[in-house]
């Protein structure tokens, strides 16, 4: 299941921002959610690619920019991440160990040690309890349960990573996961692709303190614009926003590094979460100026479970970290950037859902957290947002739906998914939202 930056120049890097007090969790749906535009498409369902962002959006529209006239990215390396003891900035590579150890402490420790020996600056784990984000009817429930790592083991692996001179990040899927990330002194917090519309979770993660990384698989320009608008309204800035294609493995032609290049041209701290095989994708991303690259990592591709079959091996990590020094601008020069732009990895510039990506597989739907009688007003405290899976059809409410205070038209049982026709319509539910005008050509 999928997922920064380096300091510019020499000298000591600035410290990451100090942790802030997390917001009240009694009802994190909050009024601020309504400040960001909502998808007219129902949550948990697939649909056609969205239009390019409107000119009135708080984020600049994606535009065609030639390499020769592309503006320099702004504040791309604001967090100044580098591994302890390094005198020069290195490309920031995050090795996602994730669920690859399948909860085995010895195997997890072996993977952390192998990552350190290969020269990786950072590793990442995924802090989740399956029951908090996968519905029991989801076909992947048991598979995810087999890969679940106890929170205590993640804390141990974070300490080991720090002892070995690496940073350690955590992907979070719930408020409890954010608490565990803080408990293990995570150097950054990651939001998975499937949760880019889970604005309440993103708001809490942004307020937690550690730098925030966002992944964008199975997403559109509208999804990205909305989450960046939320963070702007909070006066927050992500440490990195990663172009990603939610296919396992992803064909090179689906990587669309052009999207990352356009974000960089807009001054966004853009990077690449790579699900393709091999080392070419990361090297092309670095040649284009990626602030960070993330790849799954293992010590043995024949291990069962997780993403072992498509993960980097230690010897490939060494190739990336050494090769990236030679391709990163400005040392690499325009020749290497031109080569990256001519590669099959570059693709199209507009962020859209690639053929084969299924939003329903990774997006969450609203389910009853307990038995809810007819007439109950929906609020965050009586809902659980779970991945139902693509096999179940329906127009489900989701974390990005304007569900707040909508009342149930019938009794709903524990963990029953809630569809639009089960609630008294609230503003926006079941209605086509007006689309902004197309930006000028």
Residue 265 located in a structural domain = yes
Domain CATH number, residue 409:
3.90.1210.10
- pLDDT one-digit tens code per residue, 395-421: 999 998 888 888 999 999 999 999 999
Q: Is the dihedral of CA 221, 222, 223, 225 positive or negative?
A: positive
Domain CATH number, residue 290:
3.20.20.70
- Same domain (yes/no): 123, 221: yes
Domain around 427: 363-431
Conformational region of residue 85, where left means phi above 0, alpha means psi within -120 to 50, and beta covers everything else: left
3 state DSSP class of 357: coil
- Same domain (yes/no): 225, 271: yes
- Same domain (yes/no): 321, 407: no
- Same domain (yes/no): 206, 284: yes
What pLDDT does residue 5 have?
A: 32
3 state DSSP class of 40: coil
Single residue among 276, 310, 341 that ends a domain in this structure: 341
- Same domain (yes/no): 311, 425: no
Sequence-ordered list of residues with C-beta below 8 angstroms from that of 417, at least 6 positions apart, any chain: 135, 365, 366, 367, 388, 392, 394, 396
d(CA 246, CA 1) in angstroms, rounded, equals: 9
What pLDDT does residue 333 have?
A: 65
**Res 50 pLDDT > 90:** no
- pLDDT one-digit tens code per residue, 237-291: 999 999 999 999 999 999 999 999 999 999 999 999 999 999 999 999 999 999 9
Residue from 255, 318, 258 nearest 288 by CA: 258
- Same domain (yes/no): 287, 420: no
d(CA 386, CA 130) in angstroms, rounded, equals: 9
Residue 36 located in a structural domain = no
Residue from 255, 427, 251 nearest 345 by CA: 255
- Same domain (yes/no): 331, 384: no
**Helix ranges, 328-411 (H):** 333-341, 359-362
Q: Is the dihedral of CA 156, 125, 185, 160 positive or negative?
A: positive
Residue 26 located in a structural domain = no
d(CA 28, CA 420) in angstroms, rounded, equals: 21
**Res 229 pLDDT > 60:** yes
């Amino acid at each position: 299941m999928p997922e920064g930056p380096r300091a510019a120049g020499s000298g000591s890097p600035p410290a990451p921002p100090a942790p802030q007090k997390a917001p009240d969790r009694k009802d994190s749906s909050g009024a601020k959610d309504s400040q960001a535009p909502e998808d007219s498409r129902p949550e948990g369902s697939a649909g056609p690619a969205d239009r390019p962002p409107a000119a009135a959006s708080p984020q600049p529209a994606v535009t065609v920019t030639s390499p020769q006239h592309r503006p320099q990215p702004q504040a791309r390396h604001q967090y100044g991440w580098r591994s302890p003891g390094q005198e020069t900035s290195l490309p920031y590579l995050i090795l996602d160990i994730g669920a690859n150890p399948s909860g085995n402490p010895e195997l997890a420790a072996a993977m952390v040690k192998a990552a350190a020996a290969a020269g990786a600056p950072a590793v990442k784990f995924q802090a989740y309890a399956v029951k908090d984000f996968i519905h029991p009817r989801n076909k992947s429930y048991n598979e995810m349960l087999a890969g679940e790592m106890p929170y205590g083991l993640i804390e141990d692996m974070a300490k080991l990573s720090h002892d070995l001179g690496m940073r350690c990040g955590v992907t979070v899927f719930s408020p409890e996961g954010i608490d565990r990330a803080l408990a293990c002194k995570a150097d950054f917090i990651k939001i998975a692709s499937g949760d880019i519309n889970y604005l309440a979770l993103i708001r809490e993660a942004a307020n937690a303190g550690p730098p925030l990384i966002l992944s964008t698989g199975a997403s559109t320009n509208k999804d990205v614009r909305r989450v960046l608008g939320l963070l702007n309204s909070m006066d927050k800035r992500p440490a990195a926003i990663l172009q990603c294609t939610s296919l396992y493995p992803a064909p090179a032609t689906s990587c669309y590094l052009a999207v990352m290049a356009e974000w960089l041209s807009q001054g966004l701290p853009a990077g690449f979460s790579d699900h393709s095989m091999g080392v070419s994708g990361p090297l092309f991303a670095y040649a284009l100026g990626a602030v960070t690259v993330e790849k799954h990592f293992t010590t043995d591709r024949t291990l069962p479970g997780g993403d072992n079959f498509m993960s980097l091996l230690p010897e490939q990590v060494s190739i990336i970290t050494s090769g990236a020094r030679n391709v990163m601008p400005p040392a690499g020069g325009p020749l290497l950037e031109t080569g990256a732009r001519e590669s099959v990895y570059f693709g199209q510039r507009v962020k859209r859902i690639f053929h084969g990506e299924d939003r329903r597989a990774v997006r969450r739907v609203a389910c009853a957290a307990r038995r809810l009688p007819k007439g109950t007003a929906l609020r965050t405290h009586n809902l659980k947002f779970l991945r139902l899976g693509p096999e179940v059809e329906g127009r489900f409410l989701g974390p990005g739906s304007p569900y707040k205070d909508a009342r149930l038209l019938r009794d709903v049982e524990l963990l029953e998914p809630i569809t639009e026709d089960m609630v008294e319509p609230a503003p926006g539910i079941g209605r086509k939202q007006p689309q902004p005008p197309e930006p000028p050509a």
